[in-house]
Structure formats: structure tokens, C-alpha cells
Amino acid sequence: MWKRTIPVLFSILLFTAFAANAAGGVSQDVPSTSKDDISWETNKETYTADEVISLSLKNNTSNAISFGTPYAIEVFKDGKWMRTSLTDDLMFTQQTITLSPGETYKTTVDLNLFKEKIKPGFYKIVKQVNSHGKPYKAGAAFQVVE
């Protein structure tokens, strides 16, 4: 029973962490990871609004890390990163992914999936990653051009 309950509770916690930040709000106060610990990167720096972004999350720590499929998109505006509403209408599967030290997780984000077309600017795809029971925010920055 507990083997089923713990992953479900963890997934709910992960989901609510992303849902709790209102659209347009300033980025969560979850500490960012250092580049040496956990890297969350796009395969290139510049995209057009109709491309698919390939991302890699690499665990460079000496411990396992865990995360879910949800992500948020932030835009750099007025000198700070602000949460957008681009992902508000997306549905994510509620699963927990665990990466052992040295492992890499690959995924994609299709910029055409958003209800509102993404405008030119600087963005980052933000994912909450848990290490030693503490949440960290990993962000993969990119630029959208016309």
C-alpha cells in the first residue's frame, strides 16, 4: 500500500508546486541548481516560433535526482524572469522520473502546442528537480526570433 501511496503523493506535490505559481507571477523562490550539479539545456540557443526544442537534463551529482514531466515557461521581461501563461492549458502525465548519477533524460517541447503563439524574446523552460528531498529549479534558456 505504501509503495503506491508515496509516489502518488510525491507526484501531487510536484504538480502543485508548478500550479501554485500564478500566471504572470515572478519565478518561484526555489533555489536554482548550479550548472555543475544538474544541467537542463536546449540543443541550440535560437528558435523560431514553430520549432520543436530538444532538451537534455543531466544529473552531474553523486546522488539520484527525481522530477516529473511538468514544466513552465518564463520570459525575461523588465530585467527579471517572469512566469508566462503559455503552459497553463497543457496537460502533463503525473509520473516520477529518477535519474542516477551521470544519467541524462531527453525530451522535447513543441512551441506549436501553446494556445497563444510565442513571441520573439528570451525564454527559459523551467523544471523542478528534487535532490535529497529538496526542490531545485533548473532552467534551459533560449531565444525566439521571427
Question: Is residue 88 helix, strand or coil?
Answer: coil
Query: What is the per-residue pLDDT across 88-144, written as a single tens digit (0 to 9) for each?
Result: 988 999 899 999 999 999 999 999 988 889 999 999 999 999 998 889 999 999 999
Q: Which domains does the chain have, with CATH numbers?
A: 2-145 (2.60.40.2550)
Task: Match 522520473 to its residue by C-alpha cell.
Answer: 97
Question: If pLDDT is split at 50, 70 and 90, which confidence band does 3 have?
Answer: low
What mean pLDDT, rounded, does the chain reach? 81
Stated pTM of the model: 0.74
Contact 17, 28 (CB under 8 A): yes
Per-residue confidence (pLDDT) for residue 101, from 0 to 100: 96
% of residues, the chain, pLDDT over 70: 75
> Cα dist. 58→35, 88, 93, 103, 109 in Å?
10, 26, 21, 6, 17
